[in-house]
Structure 1
Amino acid sequence: MTRVESGAGRPAVRVALLGCGTVGTEVVRLITDQADELTARIGAPVELAGVAVRRPHRHPWLTGNFGHLVTTDAAELVARDDVDVVVEVIGGIEPVRGWLLEALKSGKSVVTANKALLAEDGPTLAEAADASGADLYYEAAVAGAIPLLRPLRESLAGDRITRVAGIVNGTSNFILSAMAAGGASYADALEEATRLGYAEADPSADVDGYDAASKAAILATLAFHTRITASDVHREGMREVSSAEVAAARRLGCTIKLLAICERVVDTAADGSVSESVSARVYPAMVPDSHPLARVDGAFNAVFVEAEAAGQLMFYGQGAGGAPTASAVLGDLVAVARNRVGGGRGPRESAYASLPVRPIGEVPTRYHVDLEVADREGVLAAIAGEFARHRVSIAAVRQTGGVNGAVDGDSGQARLTVVTHSAPEAALSATVSALLDLDHVKGVAGVLRVEGLGRTVSALGMGE
C-alpha cells in the first residue's frame, strides 16, 4: 500500500505500556491490528517496546502473544533508552507519579488516562514536560472516547469559556436512569449496575462523586486556565437519592443527574470593578426535562460547554469501557508520535489566569425541599418566615397530606414541598437548618438542588 510505504525507512516510535487490564489490552490490540494504518497516519511505525504488569499470570492473552515484551519492572521499562513514549493505564497516585515524572524528565512523551493523578498533581507533570520539551496528553482521563479535552485545550483556545457542565460518570448515570425509568430503589439499581459490570465491587469512587470530582478538576483547569485540584471541587455523592425524590423530580418536570459543574463567576462591585473566580462542584441535582442532559440515559456521558463566541456545544458518547477509552489513548498516541516524527510539540499547560476558587457557600443555586410538618394553622407562615429571614425567595409551595389525606399514617401531619428561587448556597443551607428547629417541622425528607443549566424551568411556576 502506498500509504503504508510513506513511513518506511523511518525509525519506529517505541512505546512502553504501563498496565494491561481492560483498557491496556485494547491498546495492545489496536496497536498491533492497525499497525499499517498507524504508520501511514504518523509517518513512522509504532512498536511496543514492553508492557509492564504486576502479575503476568493474570494476563494469559498478553503472555501468550507478547510474552517477550512482558515485564514486572515498570521503573526499568520507563528508564530504557529505546523508549520514546510511555502510555500509562494503571491508575492511582503512587508509584505511577514517580514513573511518569521520570519519563517526562528524560524527554519521553507521556499519554495517560490517570484522572486521579492529574487532578491531584497535574501541574507537577506539566512542569516536567515543559522543562524537557516532552508532550503530556490525557484525553482518556475524562469521558472515555468522547473528544472533549482537546477541543477545550485547542479548538476553543481563542474563545472565552464560561461554563462546562455535564454527566461524567457512567455508573452513577446508569443507577439514576434505572431509578427514574422503573422506580427501582438506589440499592436495587446499584445491584443491577454491579451485575452488568458498570459498578465495581466497591462503588465508592463513582457513587460518592470522587471520580466525577477528579474529572471536574481537569475540566476546570483547561477551561479557565487555572490550576484546579480535586480538593478544590465541592463534592457530594448520590447514595442518599431516594425513589421519593426521583418521583418528586418527575412531578416537577425534571430528572435527577449527578452533575459536574465548572463555571466562571463574574462579580461587579459597587464601584464598577470586576472580579472573576471559578466554581467547581459535583452533586446530584434536578435537571429540567427540556435540557438535553436530562435525556442522557444508561452509562453514557454528556458534557455541555458554553463559550462566549461559540455558544453552546454538547459532547456525547460512551464515557467508559475498554475499547472507547483505548480509542482516546490511541488518539493521543498518534498525536505525540507525530510530534516526535515531525519535530513539533503539543500544547503546553495554560494556567496564566490563576483565578481564585469560589467557596461553595457563595455559589448561587436553587433548592427543592421536602418537609414533614404538623397539619395545623400557622405552619406555612412560620416556614415562609424562616425563608424570608435568610433572604431566600420561595418560587412555589405544594402540600400533600393534611386535610387532603394522611402522610405516613399520621392524620395530623402533612408534607410541604418548597422550591426556591436562586440564592447563595450558604443562605439555603442555613434556612434548612433553621427549619429543623421549628416545632411545626417534624423532619426534612429530602433536599436537592435544581439546576437550570441555561434553560427555563417551568414546572410549579418556577422560572429561570
Structure 2
Amino acid sequence: MMRTRPLKVALLGCGVVGSEVARIMTTHAADLAARIGAPVELAGVAVRRPDRVREGIDPALVTTDATALVKRGDIDVVVEVIGGIEPARSLITTAFEYGASVVSANKALLAQDGAALHAAAEDHDADLYYEAAVAGAIPLIRPLRESLAGDKVNRVLGIVNGTTNFILDKMDSTGAGYQEALDEATALGYAEADPTADVEGFDAAAKAAILAGIAFHTRVRLDDVHREGMTEVTAADFAAAKRIGCTIKLLAICERAADGGSVTARVHPAMIPLTHPLASVRGAYNAVFVESDAAGQLMFYGPGAGGSPTASAVLGDLVAVCRNRLNGATGPGESAYAALPVSPMGDVVTRYHISLDVADKPGVLAQVATVFAEHGVSIDTVRQQGRQEGDGEASLVVVTHRASDAALGGTVEALRKLDTVRGVASIMRVEGE
C-alpha cells in the first residue's frame, strides 16, 4: 500500500539542472510516487536570485535562506545542485544533522571532501548519493559500487567531459585549430565563458578521483590525481596520430598496479587507436570503459552533461534514497577498506609518441636511440623526414614500447641537452592498447 504522507524534498539550486529536477518532479509526480511507494513533495527551493521567474515552481516555495530550509526538521531529502565547495559543504552536513539524506551532483566537493561527507552521513544514519556527479545521465557510479561489488575492477578509462571531447572531435574531423574549435563550442553553449575547468582538466580530475575511489575501494582525493590540460594539442598532433592509426582524446584513467598493491589516477590528452571503442565517441558525449576480472570489458556511453540528462541521474538517486527512507534503511556508503596507496605519476607505465626537431645530418638517429637506451626506454618505431631542402633540419618521430613516466621524463630531459636536437615538438601518451 502507498503511504499517503509525502516525503519532503528541499532543492538547493534552481539553475539548468535544478529547474529540470523540479519540472520532472512535478510532471512525473504520479509515476515517482508509484515507484517509491509514497508521494514526493517539493517543500522548498533555495536560490540566490529570488526575483527570477521560474516556470512551474510556486513562488511561495522559493527562499534565499538555504540554511533555514535544511534546518526545518521535516525535510526527508536534500537535493544539492549548487556546486562548489561552500556553502554546499556546510549545507550538506547540516542536512545530515537535521535528519535528511542527500542527493548531490557536486563533483568538486565530493572529490575534495567525499570521505568526510560519507562519515557525516553514516554518523546520522543518512544516505549520500551522487550519480549525477560523474558523466551526467550515464549510470556509472551505481554499477561500480553495486553491480560490480563482487568483482575486482582493474582499470577505468573514460571521456568524462563533453566540452573537451567536442573540441577535440572538431579538431580531428575538420582540421580546425584549438582556438577555432573552442570558439565553436562556446557559440553552441558547450563551453563556458571561462572554460578553464574543462580544458585544463580540473573537471575531469574531480570525476577521476570519485571513480578511482569507488572502483578500488580506496580514498582518492583530487590532489592525488595527476592533471594535464589539452590547450597545447595542435592540428599537427592529430596528423601525427592519424599516421599511426590513432585519434586524440582527453582521458581520465584510473588503474590498479599490476601487482595490485597501489593505484593511480590521471587526466591528460592521449592518443588512442581508432579501433578502441572510445575513439568513436563524438561531439559532447561521454563514455567510460571499465575492465574487471570477472565481467571483462564494459562500456558506458551517453550524454555527460546538460539539464535533462543530469536531472535524470539526480531523480534516479532521489527514488533510491526515498525508497530507503520508507524502509528505514540506508544504501551503500563509502567503501575504502582496501586503503591502497596512490602512486605518483612517475610510476605510471604506458607508451609514448615523441616528435623531435633535429639536425638533418648523419648520426643523429644513433645519438637519439642511445639516449633512449640509456634510460631504459625501448623504441618501437622511428620515422624521420626532412623539413625543407637545405634548411638543415628534420623531424624525428619516435613511438616507444611501454615505459614508466619517470623514465620517459629523464629521456626527454637528456634529449634536450643534445646539440643535434633543436627542440621537442610534442610528447603524447598512447593509451588503450
Tell me if TM exceeds 0.5.
Answer: yes
Question: Is the 2:70–2:98 contact (alpha carbons within 8 Å) kept by the matching residues of 1?
Answer: no
**Aligned match for 1:162, one of 154, 157, 162:** 154
Find the partner of 2:243 among 239, 251, 256.
Answer: 251
Separation of aligned partners in 2, 1:358 and 1:177: 31
Give the superposition deviation at 1:164. 0.7
* Unpaired stretches in structure 2, ≥5 consecutive residues: none
Partner of 1:142: 134
Inter-partner Cα distance in structure 1 for 2:118 and 2:96: 9
1:332 aligns with 2:317: yes
The alpha-carbon deviation at position 253 of structure 1 amounts to 0.4
What is the one-letter code of the residue matched to 2:53?
Answer: P
Q: What per-residue deviation string (whole Å, max 9, x for no partner) do you get for residues 418-464 of structure 1? A: 1011011011011111111111111111110001x2x3xxxxxxxxx
1:419 aligns to 2:399 (yes or no): yes
Aligned 1:199-348 pairs, distance under 5 A: 199-267=191-259, 276-348=261-333
Which piece of structure 1 moves more, 176-185 or 105-114?
105-114
Per-residue CA shift, 1:169-216, capped at 9, x if unaligned?
000000000000000000000000000000000000000000000000
* Residue aligning to 1:441: 421
Opposite residue 10 of structure 2, the aligned amino acid is: A
Q: For residue 188 of structure 2, what is the aligned residue in structure 1?
A: 196
Asked if structure 2 preserves the Cα contact closer than 8 Å seen for 1:107 and 1:129, the reply is no
Q: Deviations over 1:365-408 (max 9, x none)?
A: 11111111111111111111110111100100011225xx44xx
CA distance in 2, matches of 1:400, 1:376: 11
Q: Distance in 1 between matches of 2:392 and 2:189?
A: 46
- Distance in 1, matches of 2:207 and 2:264, equals 14
Identity of aligned residues (%): 66
CA distance in 1, matches of 2:405, 2:4: 59
CA shift for structure 1 position 411: 2.3
1:242-268 CA-partner distances (Å, limit 9, x unpaired): 11001110111001000000011133x
TM-score normalised by L of structure 2: 0.98
Contact 2:17 2:307 in 1 (8 A): yes
Equivalent residue letter for 2:386: G
Question: For residue 61 of structure 2, what is the aligned residue in structure 1?
Answer: 69
Using the TM superposition, give the Cα deviation of residue 105 of structure 1 relative to its aligned residue in structure 2, in angstroms.
Answer: 2.4
In the other structure, the counterpart of 1:272 is none
Distance in 1 between residues matched to 2:53 and 2:386, nearest whole Å = 62
Tell me if the contact between 1:111 and 1:333 (Cα under 8 Å) persists in the aligned partners.
yes
- Measured in 2, the distance between the counterparts of 1:183 and 1:30 equals 40
For residue 17 of structure 1, the aligned residue among 3, 11, 20 is 11
Unaligned runs of 5+ in 1: 1-5, 268-274, 456-464
Partner of residue 36 from structure 1, selected from 30, 40, 49? 30
Change over 3 Å in CA distance of 1:379–1:142 after alignment to 2: same
* In 2: Cα distance, 1:132 partner to 1:232 partner: 28
Deviation of 1:359 after TM superposition, in Å, equals 1.0
Partner Cα distance (2:99, 2:332) in 1: 15
Contact 2:201 2:227 in 1 (8 A): yes
Aligned to 2:384: 399
Q: 1:169–1:212: 8 Å Cα contact kept in structure 2?
A: yes
Distance, in Å, in 1 between the alignment partners of 2:45 and 2:74 is: 14
Choose the corresponding residue for 1:380, options 351, 362, 365: 365
Q: Using the alignment, how far apart are the partners of 1:55 and 1:233 within structure 2?
A: 35
1:425 aligned partner, one-letter code:
D
2: CA distance, partners of 1:217 / 1:314: 19
Corresponding residue to 1:175 among 162, 167, 170 = 167
Distance in 1 separating the partners of 2:282 and 2:6: 42
- The AA in structure 1 aligned to 2:254 is C
Partner Cα separation in structure 1 for residue 262 and residue 71 of structure 2 = 41
Report how far residue 229 of structure 1 moved.
0.4
Letter in 2 for 1:126: H
Contact 1:302 1:317 (8 Å CA) reproduced: yes
Structure 1 residue matching 2:257: 3-state secondary structure: strand
Which residue identity is paired with 1:446?
Answer: S
Aligned residues: 433
Residue 106 of structure 1, CA deviation: 2.5
**More divergent stretch after superposition (306-315 vs 97-106):** 97-106
SS of aligned partner of 1:60: coil
Contact 1:49 1:82 in 2 (8 A): no
- 1:265-296 Cα distance to aligned partner (Å, 9 max, x none): 133xxxxxxx6101100000000001000000
Aligned partners of 1:19 and 1:52 also within 8 Å: yes
Match of 2:352 among 367, 389, 399: 367
Partners in 2 of 1:76 and 1:106 — Cα distance? 11
Q: Deviations over 1:201-245 (max 9, x none)?
A: 000000000000000000000000000001000000000001100
Quote the residue 2:114 is aligned against: 122
Q: Of 349, 353, 356, which residue of structure 1 is paired with 2:341?
A: 356
| TM-aligned CA deviation for residue 107 of structure 1 | 2.4
